[in-house]
Structure 1
């Protein structure tokens, strides 16, 4: 398939998507019967619309093979289920991005794989924390409190920060961690090797596993047994230690694990 053919087919599919999304009734009907089939009365009560309006929308969706009627109940066809599933994903992605738009708009996302960006809806329940002029260390303080309650850590570490290392080593010495996995760049690894204390505390510690990548990293990702966090770089290349996303739900944890594995 050539790129021209692909563009033509995408344009044609966009017309179909637009047909659904430009009608609130068609969209609401698909969402209403997404999880279970419903009859006209149930739809009328749920959507608070006249029967005639609902029947008109149902007929439109039947004509393009997105829903079907089985006795008195309306349900999604296979095509309808696939389209609605992706529509739900689009809505949740939009919600997730809009909820933390300050965070996403201000940062460099180039180190996050495309597949992970497509699944940004998994972060819809994360909390945004930022430092203020009255509390410049708020984000960092929240982060340290979280890792101090963890027993296992997986970290994509893009910066050489003695402040971060100090707290990590302290927790290692206190036997708080059962396992620590670090992914760092060659430059960071070389800096660790040159520092006698870090060399001993990290490279010679059986609980610590360090993996090295060939490129400079642009994300600071942490995943533990009870939380995940993400901070990024500004678009000018400077690391932003003032803003962080923190998630504790299973979806955020799954997203973080997949991102960690991608490195």
Structure 2
């Protein structure tokens, strides 16, 4: 049996490892922290020691080994991620997170404390209004847009002096080139790049907005994940930077696809 299965297969072993994760503790302190019976805790300590996950120190306190500490951290992250998903299970069951890079999916626990804003029949534009208001009201914003939305474009143009970066998909750029060969109004104030993203995201200094596609791949304008914690914003900023680094400058993309002459039109 591998170490992970060994630990998660026993409530007592999970409790003992969690009790020791913050630092060394006496046997009595471990007993106080655990909900399992005294005999179960003693048995867990012995078996965790046999598996090289904890050890008894010279002062008779117990502590994790490096293996035990890393494993405890991983279990804690999994539990926190489970809490994030369980708090709005319907949303996560109806949407596709495949396009979020694996390393960022592994950090979904950073979204703790989020809420899902939904657009009821009585207010069908509630979610999109939250997005537009956020874009328009902040001094620095980074946006990933898999679709074109007039409301969001107008919001980007409301603060021409703001620090704004925009990632659009090749399909959105093609639509813009066809509909407005001279570029959309206000585009000169926005630093734009092109990348084939399937999810939408807005990141400012104090807010993260995330919109995943539905299971059939469709854009969902009716719901928005909203998070305002430092951890969530940091997660969003790092995800945006990853996309930004891999995206192509919009003018370069237009020149490559439509020819240099397209830049002069």
Which bracket does the TM-score occupy, shorter chain normalised?
A: 0.7 to 0.9
Q: Is the 8 A contact 1:99 1:124 kept in 2?
A: no
Give the alignment partner of residue 176 of structure 2, picking from 160, 175, 192.
192
Q: 1:49 to 1:108 in 2, by over 3 A?
A: closer
Q: Is the 8 A contact 2:17 2:64 kept in 1?
A: yes
Match status 1:201 vs 2:186 = yes
Give the alignment partner of residue 39 of structure 1, picking from 21, 26, 38.
26
Q: 1:78 to 1:164 in 2, by over 3 A?
A: same
Other-structure match for 2:101: 113
Q: 1:258 Cα deviation (Å)? A: 2.0
Match status 1:79 vs 2:67 = yes
**Structure 2: any 5+ residue segments left out of the alignment?**
244-265
Q: TM-score, normalised by structure 1?
A: 0.84
**Structure 1: any 5+ residue segments left out of the alignment?**
1-11
Match status 1:210 vs 2:187 = no
Q: 1:48 Cα deviation (Å)? A: 4.5
Alignment of 1:56-75 (within 5 A): 56-70=43-57, 71-75=59-63
Cα deviation, 1:192-246, whole Å, max 9, x if unaligned, reads 34427853411x22xx100012x3x311111111111101222223211111111
CA distance in 1, matches of 2:184, 2:152: 15
Q: Is the 8 A contact 1:40 1:51 kept in 2?
A: no
Other-structure match for 1:245: 225
Q: 1:78 Cα deviation (Å)? A: 0.9
Q: Is the 8 A contact 1:26 1:58 kept in 2?
A: yes
Give the alignment partner of residue 86 of structure 2, picking from 98, 105, 122.
98
- Which structure is higher in RCO with an 8 Å CA cutoff and minimum separation 6? 1
Other-structure match for 1:225: 205
Cα deviation, 1:23-77, whole Å, max 9, x if unaligned, reads 1000011011111211122222222455333212111111111111112311101
Q: 1:35 to 1:89 in 2, by over 3 A?
A: same
